[in-house]
Amino acid sequence: MSPVSATFEAATAFIQANTEIATPPACPEVRLWTATEVTPLWEATEQALLRVNLPPPYWAFCWAGGQALTRWVLDHPELVRGKRVLDFAAGSGVTAMAAAQCGAARVEAADIDPMACYAIRLNAELNGVAVEVLKDDVVGAACRWDVVVAGDVCYEAPMTAHIWPWLRQLAADGATVVMADPGRAYLPKTGLLKVGAYTVQTSLDLEDRAQREVVVFQIVG
Ligand SMILES: C[S@@+](CC[C@H](N)C(=O)[O-])C[C@H]1O[C@@H](n2cnc3c(N)ncnc32)[C@H](O)[C@@H]1O
Helices (H), 108-147: 114-127
Ligand 1 centroid – CA 155 distance (Å): 10
Mean pLDDT on 156-180: 98
CA distance 106 to 103: 9
The whole model's pTM is what?
0.94
Q: Closest ligand 1 atom to the C-alpha of 139?
A: 19
The share of the chain scoring above pLDDT 90, in percent, equals 79
Q: Hey, whose CA ends up nearest to atom 24 of ligand 1?
A: 89
| Ligand 1 pocket member 118 (CB < 6 A) | no
Helix, strand or coil for residue 134? Answer: strand
CB atoms within 10 A of CB 74: 20
Of 170, 84, 71, 167, nearest to 130 (Cα)? 84
Residues 43-76 pLDDT 10s: 766 666 555 555 678 999 999 999 999 999 999 9
Q: Which residues contact 194 (CB under 8 A, 6 or more apart)?
A: 215, 216, 217
Domains of the chain: 3-219 (3.40.50.150)
pLDDT band of residue 2 (cuts 50, 70, 90) is very low
Q: Cβ-count burial of 132 within 10 angstroms (0-12 exposed, 13-18 middle, 19+ buried)?
A: middle
- Residue 140 phi/psi, 5-degree rounding, is 100, -15
139 CB near ligand 1 (under 6 Å): yes
Higher model confidence: residue 39 or residue 187?
187
**C-alpha 35 chain-centroid distance:** 15
